[in-house]
Amino acid sequence: MAWFFLILAGVLEVVWSLGLKYTQGFTRPVPSLITGTAIVASMVLLSRAARTLPIGTAYAIWVGIGAVGAAIGGVVLFDEAMPPLRVAFVVLLVASIVGLKLTATP
């Protein structure tokens, strides 16, 4: 269950990080509420995962999922550039996330 909680926490991190763009500095109520809820839920799920998983592994994977998701979401939703070097670094992040998962103890 810890890995499920961690992956879901990472997905919610993507939701809130991308949601920040829609809040316009937390001046729009509905996007602000969705973003705030996603932040809290993401943290709660991360803390649940960290009960079993090493905190260094859990936190790094959580951040990695968020970073990769935000980078891809920025391209898809906000028409941000994705030059080849940026793609290479996103691939490195994914490789790091997989490596951490493969070497985690529980």
Instruction: Tell me the per-residue pLDDT of 28-44, one tens digit each, with 9 for 90 and over.
Output: 999 999 999 999 999 99
Q: How far apart are CA 53 and CA 32, in angstroms?
A: 31
At residue 106, the pLDDT reads: 58
Question: Mean pLDDT, to the nearest integer, of 70-99?
Answer: 95
Q: How far apart are the first and last CA of the chain?
A: 11
pLDDT for the residue numbered 100: 86
pLDDT reading at 104 higher than 90:
no
Provide the strand spans (E) within the chain. none
Mean pLDDT along residues 49-66: 94
Helix 55-78 to helix 2-23 angle, to the nearest 10 degrees? 40
Q: How would residue 103 be classed by pLDDT, with cut points 50, 70 and 90?
A: confident
Answer whether residue 19 shows pLDDT above 70: yes
**Which is higher by pLDDT, 101 or 36?**
36
Which of 58, 57, 60, 68 is CA-nearest to residue 18? 68
